[in-house]
Structure 1
Amino acid sequence: MVWRAWGEGSPVVLLHGGSGSWTHWVRNIDTLATCHRVIAADMPGFGDSDMPPEPPTVDTLAAVIASGLDTIVRPPARYDLLGFSFGGIVGGLVAARQRDRVRRVVLIGTGGMAFPRSVLPDLVRVDAGDAEAHRENLRRLMFGDPARADDLAVAIHRDNVRRTRFKTGNVPESDVLLHALPSITARVAGIWGTRDAFAVPYLDARRETLARFQPDLDFRLVEGAGHWVIYEAPGVVNAALMDILG
C-alpha cells in the first residue's frame, strides 16, 4: 500500500473516493499541511497500491489501512481522519476499529447509510483516452457547476479510472457505515455539496442520521457544489476543515 505525506504537526489522514487516488485531495493538501502532517493513502486496489488480500471487501480495506496507520502513526499517537465519498465509508470502519486512536472523523459526500440510490444522469460511453467523454461525465455526475470540470480534473479522473481495480459495487447504498457509527467514539463532522448527485434529495436525512449518534454534530453544506466538493470548492472546504480540525 502506498502512502504520501506532507507537512508537520498533528496527523491528518486522507482517504479518497471510489475510482480515485490521493489526487482527489490535490486542492486541499497544501492548506492542511500548513498546520498538520498530512498523510494521504492510495487505498488497496486504487492508484499505486496493490489489491488487498482476499476477500476484497470494504472490511478488508479497513483492516489493511488500520494496520498501515499503526506503522505510520505509531500508537499511542492519535490522528484525525478525513474521508471523501467511498473513503468516508472505509474511514468510518477504520475509526470503529481504532476507537482509542482517532480524534475526529470528517465525512465528505459519504454513503453507506442505507439511503436509496439517487436518480443519476446518464453517462457518456468512454473509450480509452477519451478526455472529452470523461469531462462530460464529470460535469454530469461530480460537479455542481459544470464549468468547474477543468483540464486538471479531467486528467486526474482519467488517470484514476484507468488504475482502479477495486470494485465498490453497491457499498455506497449499503448500511455498512450506519452499522459502524455506534462504535465510533471520535468526534464526527460532515461536509456535503448542496448539488451532490449522489446525496440529493437525502441531504437532510444524512444530517439527521449522523446527529442520532452525535447530537452536537458539525454538519456543513457547500452551496452549489457537487459530489467532488473538495475539488470544486476548495476555498470553502479548506476553511471548514481547518475550523473543524482546530
Structure 2
Amino acid sequence: MEPDVEPVENRPPPLPELAGVQHRFVEVRGVRLHVAEAGSGEPVVLLHGFPQHWYGWRRLIPLLAGEYRLICVDQRGFGWSDAPAKGYDTDSRVSDVLALMDALGLDRVRLVGHDWGAWTGFQLCLRAPERFTHYLALNMLHPWPLHRRLMPQAWRFWYTALLEQPLLGRWMLRRRPAFTRYLMRKGVVDGRVWTPDAMDEFVRSSREPDRARAGEALHRAFALRDIARLVLGHYKKLRLSTPTVILAGERDFMLPPAVLTGAGGHASDLTVEVLAGCGHYVHEERPDLVAKAARELFGR
C-alpha cells in the first residue's frame, strides 16, 4: 500500500531561512499560529504589519537576539499561520496574542509592533496593561489622534478603499501583484531597501488565496469597527499606562509626523520620535535606530 502523499499545491511554501531562528506552531482559540523565535533573555513579542509576516523582522532580529528572546508572531491570516474565515477585527487579534502568551507561559513581555501590528499593540496595552512592560510602536498613530490634523491627511489612505471592498480587495492582492509592489516601494524612501528576495516573498505570500482574503478582511474590519470607534470617541475614557515610544518616518506616505501628536492625559508615558529619511517601514530602512530605541526604552 502506497503512503499518502500531500499534493504539492496543498503544501505550505518553505520558510525563509534566517540564522538563529527556530520555528514552532501553537494552537490558540482554534487557530494554529506560527511563531519564529531567536535569542535568549527577557521576552519581546513582535507583531508585523501589512503585507509582511515574521520575515519582516529579519534585519532587526540579528541586532537584538543577543540581548532578548524575540518572539515574532505571524498573526492570523498571514505568513504560516492559519487563515480562518473570521477573526480579523482588532479585538480578535488582541485575544489571539494574549492566548499565545498564555500558551507560551509568558506573564509579562516587552512589545514591538509595526503598522497594523502596532495598532494591535496599542489595544493590547489598553486591555491588559499588566502583561506589557514597555511598548515600541512603529509607523502607527495612537488611539487619541487630533482629528483636525488627521482629517486633512485622510486622502493618503486611498488604497485601503480598494483593499477593504468585498471580493475586490482579495482580487487586487491575488491578481495585481504590481499593486502590492507599488505600496511597498511607496513605503520607503530608497527603493533599494527592498532586496529582490524580500520583495518577492511578501508579494508571494499576499497572493495566496487565503492570505489575500485575510488582507481584505483585515482592512474591512478596521474600516467598519475601528474607524467608528475613533470617530465616536470610544477611547476617550481609556488611558495608556505602558511606557511607550512611537517611531515615525519623516517621509511616511501614510502617516506623516504631523498627525503623530502626543496623547495628552490619555497616556502616562508616551513620546514620539521622528526618524529622518525614513518612510513607512522604519525597521527595514533603519533597523539600527529601531534597535537603539528598543534598547533605550526596554532599559528604563
**TM-score of the superposed pair, with normalisation by structure 1:** 0.83
Give the letter aligned to residue 266 of structure 2.
Answer: F
> Which of these two proteins has the greater Rg computed from alpha carbons?
2
> How far does residue 184 in structure 1 lie from its aligned partner after superposition?
3.2
Count residues in correspondence. 238
Q: Deviations over 1:198-230 (max 9, x none)?
A: 112xx233232x344336533211101110111
Indicate if the aligned counterparts of 2:47 and 2:117 stay in contact, CA closer than 8 A: yes
SS at match of 2:219: coil
Give 5+ residue unaligned stretches, structure 2: 1-32, 163-171
Which of 64, 85, 90 is residue 115 of structure 2 equivalent to?
85
**TM-score of the superposed pair, with normalisation by structure 2:** 0.69
CA distance in 1, matches of 2:157, 2:86: 31
> How far does residue 134 in structure 1 lie from its aligned partner after superposition?
5.0
CA distance in 2, matches of 1:181, 1:139: 38
Indicate if the aligned counterparts of 2:244 and 2:271 stay in contact, CA closer than 8 A: yes
**Structure number having the greater helix percentage:** 2
Report the aligned-residue RMSD: 2.9
CA distance in 2, matches of 1:72, 1:233: 30
Give 5+ residue unaligned stretches, structure 1: none
> How far does residue 127 in structure 1 lie from its aligned partner after superposition?
7.2
Which residue number in structure 1 is paired with residue 169 of structure 2? none
Which of 200, 205, 224 is residue 160 of structure 1 equivalent to?
205
**Superposition pairs of residues 209-228 of structure 1, within 5 angstroms:** 210-214=263-267, 216-228=269-281
Which of structures 1 and 2 has the larger relative contact order (alpha carbons within 8 angstroms, sep 6+)?
A: 1
Give the letter aligned to residue 185 of structure 2.
Answer: R
SS at match of 1:96: helix
Indicate if the aligned counterparts of 1:28 and 1:230 stay in contact, CA closer than 8 A: yes
Indicate if the aligned counterparts of 2:244 and 2:269 stay in contact, CA closer than 8 A: no
Indicate if the aligned counterparts of 1:92 and 1:180 stay in contact, CA closer than 8 A: no
**Superposition pairs of residues 1-246 of structure 1, within 5 angstroms:** 1-51=33-83, 54-75=86-107, 78-111=108-141, 113=143, 115-116=150-151, 117-119=154-156, 134-140=180-186, 142-163=187-208, 164=211, 165-166=213-214, 167-169=217-219, 171=222, 174=227, 179=235, 182-200=238-256, 203-208=257-262, 210-214=263-267, 216-246=269-299
Change (3 A) 1:100 1:121: closer
Give the letter aligned to residue 156 of structure 2.
Answer: V
